[in-house]
Amino acid sequence: MYKVVAPMAGITDASFLNKVIPYGFNVATLGGYSLDQPTIDASRKIIERGRKEFDFPVNEIFTHIEDEVNSIKNLHDDVKVSANVRATTPQPIVEVGNIPNLDIVEINCHCRQEEILAIGCGQEMLNRDDLSDFISQVVDNVESEVSVKIRANVEGIDTLKTASLIEDAGADYLHIDAMKKGADADWELLTEICNNVNIKVIGNNSVNSRSNLEKMIETGVDGFSIARSVISGNLDFDISNF
Ligand SMILES: Cc1cc2nc3c(=O)[nH]c(=O)nc-3n(C[C@H](O)[C@H](O)[C@H](O)COP(=O)(O)O)c2cc1C
């Protein structure tokens, strides 16, 4: 079972991840990082209105990620390290996917901050006609595995079709925030996806108690990820037995 620390921009750096991995995680996600000038400019606008973001210039971001990967591997060489990234083109994502010791590059098709959506990134990637080609270009040119992080139930998007597209494009993992308005995660949709795709599915959202973790696992996912419940660094339910 993949037990993943989900990305949180401005929070999930190596020092944070090194502190929370011992709660039982076997995959640690760095980022989200913005990799090219349009996404970096968008991140800066987000920071200006008071939200946390990582902020590194183009000429520093790749060596920064490499250093962060090594900081985790030096302490936890049995843990897979993933980097969640945003860019307007595949090329900088390919560069991250070829960082030595990085296990997984994760294409962020999830973020819904309006500055990121305005440049066609994050969740807006799901509306791109060339999404399949974008993912394939990354898959075909990196040494690492590739994950694609999406949000479920986005208006106008068929989540199951998108999951199949991501599988067909050759990605190794579908990381899905199964968000459902007014409820915990959309367990039914996750079950439907797990029954209809062969790509490894990492289920995300509302894993904040043992009972929700059990519900998540019952959907048939290959792994689960947790964001908000790890912020305190004090998970009050044990993930090590799953
Ligand atoms: C402060 C914060 C920052 C986040 N930043 C990112 C990000 O950079 N990339 C991403 O894919 N998801 C990001 N997320 C979404 C989480 O990874 C996760 O999908 C979401 O919080 C639902 O999972 P949870 O119920 O375990 O918190 C962020 C969430 C929070 C709370």
What is the Cα–Cα distance from 193 to 199, expressed in whole angstroms? Answer: 10
Nearest CA to ligand 1 atom 16: 227
User: Given the CA of residue 108, which atom of ligand 1 is nearest to it?
Assistant: 11
Residue 241: which pLDDT band, with cuts at 50, 70 and 90?
Answer: confident
Enter the tokens of residue 228: 């908000």
Cut 0.85: pTM above it? yes
What is the Cα–Cα distance from 15 to 3, expressed in whole angstroms? Answer: 18
Interval 192-212 mean pLDDT:
97
Ligand 1 centroid–CA 95 distance in Å is 23
Quote the Cα angle for 32-96-133, to 5°. 90
Render pLDDT for 136-178 as a digit per residue (tens, 0 to 9): 999 999 999 999 999 999 999 999 999 999 999 999 999 999 9
Interval 56-82 mean pLDDT:
98
**Binding-site residues, ligand 1, Cβ < 6 A:** 6-9, 11, 31-32, 84, 108, 110-111, 149, 177, 204-207, 226-229
Cα separation values, 130 from 88, 135, 240, Å: 12, 9, 40
What pLDDT is attached to residue 233? Answer: 73
What pLDDT is attached to residue 155? Answer: 95
Ligand 1 centroid–CA 8 distance in Å is 5
In a mutational test of the pocket of ligand 1, which residue from 8, 82, 115 has the highest number of ligand atoms less than 8 Å from its CB? 8
* Alpha-helical runs (H) found in 140-196: 159-168, 187-196
Cα–Cα nearest to 77, from 21, 124, 149: 21
Other CB atoms within a 10 A radius of the CB of residue 130 amount to 11
What pLDDT is attached to residue 98? Answer: 98
Nearest CA to ligand 1 atom 1: 8
Task: Answer yes or no: are the C-beta atoms of 59 and 1 closer than 8 Å.
Answer: no
What is the Cα–Cα distance from 125 to 38, expressed in whole angstroms? Answer: 14
- Spans of all domains in the chain: 2-230
Please state, rounded to an integer, the average pLDDT across all residues of the chain: 97
> Given phi > 0 = left and psi -120 to 50 = alpha, else beta, which region is 31?
left
Cα–Cα nearest to 93, from 61, 46, 45: 61
Render pLDDT for 21-53 as a digit per residue (tens, 0 to 9): 999 999 999 999 999 999 999 999 999 999 999
In a mutational test of the pocket of ligand 1, which residue from 177, 205, 226 has the highest number of ligand atoms less than 8 Å from its CB? 177
Enter the tokens of residue 218: 């019952």
Cα–Cα nearest to 112, from 42, 212, 25, 182: 42
What pLDDT is attached to residue 25? Answer: 98
For domain 2-230, give the fold: TIM Barrel (3.20.20)
